[in-house]
Amino acid sequence: MKKPEHDTLAFRLATILLKLNQDESFSPQELADEFGVHERTVYRDLIRLAGIVERSPEGKYRIVSEYRGKLRPKDLETFAKLVGVDELFPQSGPRFLIALLDTLSQGSFLVRGQRYEKLKSHDAQFQQLDEAIRDRRRCLLTYADKRRTLEPYRLVNNKGIWYLVAVDGGQLKSFSLSRISQLLVGDDTFEPRAHIHRQIEEEDDVWFSEEKTEVLLTVAPQVAYYFKRRKLLPQQTIDKELESGGLIVSSRVSDENQILPLVRYWVPHVRILEPGWLRDRLESGLRTFLA
């Protein structure tokens, strides 16, 4: 029989953490009565939180002073956005914390994420760039056999790969972290521009351009479900659902190579309607391959 929610380790730990963060103090017996468990169970829970809780002279447990009031629901939401899981779970707030902690007990969640590149050999470089972004300092580095002076704005993980997003010669570009060499953080600073930050936030990829090409595509009924389930194309919008079950979909791209590989993957179920020059380029490439 499945245990009721209040009897799960995840629920108890989440509740205790939220109580502690609200500066509440309690005895093990009080928690045992609230959760409907034995006092020994609560003691085991508190042991798991060693370093976070302390025992007061009155025998009640409270959060250690250095953490008091530090954890807010907004912090959890921020962390979720930082690691890209803010839309992963169907509920938020305290339930999100419970979902994360649930892996300690029943293990009812299993998230298979991206296969991330290994950056052990680039740890020092990562730290340097992080500090340069915070201090608004220009960087001198080598990328694609070219020496460049950049204004660094953000470190972005896209599809498991880390990129430095920076302004190079007045243009916003992305640079694969593993291909950066001879990094030197300068002493001169720059003033970040608000519209650059907005552009980085609004993009769902690492192709940056103020000029976008609107691409109109048809999606066959056999694969429409996948495009309705989540966005598979850059800045994807479903414009129309057809009676056949197919879709008319639009996408906005900065470069043809941002979308052509994706369309080739879904051939023959996805076709480009407009622009004509992009459709012709796709078909020409396919003919060359088949030849």
Instruction: Please write the tens of the pLDDT for every residue from 124-149.
Output: 888 899 999 999 999 999 999 999 99
The enclosing H or E element of 189 equals strand 181-189
Exposure string over 118-128, b if 16+ CB within 10 A, otherwise e: eeeebeebeeb
pTM over 0.85: no
- Burial of residue 250 (CB within 10 Å: 0-12, 13-18, 19+) is middle
Question: What pLDDT score was predicted for residue 263?
Answer: 96
* Local confidence band at 3 (pLDDT 50, 70, 90 cut-offs): very low
User: By mean pLDDT, which of 77-86, 172-181, 277-286 is the weakest?
Assistant: 77-86
Q: What percent of the chain has pLDDT over 70?
A: 81
Question: What pLDDT score was predicted for residue 282?
Answer: 95
Q: What angle do CA 24, 85, 121 make, to 5 degrees?
A: 105
Q: What percent of the chain has pLDDT over 90?
A: 50
| Structure token pair of residue 201 | 């936030």
- Is the pLDDT at 55 greater than 80? The verdict is yes
The residue ranking higher by pLDDT, 67 or 237, is 237
- For residue range 65-85, list pLDDT tens digits in order: 776 666 565 665 666 666 666
Question: What domains does the chain contain, in order, with CATH numbers?
Answer: 5-104 (1.10.10.10), 120-202 (2.30.30), 213-290 (3.30.70)
Question: What pLDDT score was predicted for residue 184?
Answer: 95
Question: What pLDDT score was predicted for residue 12?
Answer: 82
- Burial of residue 134 (CB within 10 Å: 0-12, 13-18, 19+) is exposed
- Is the pLDDT at 196 greater than 70? The verdict is yes
β-sheet bridge partners, residue 241: 247
- Is the pLDDT at 204 greater than 70? The verdict is yes
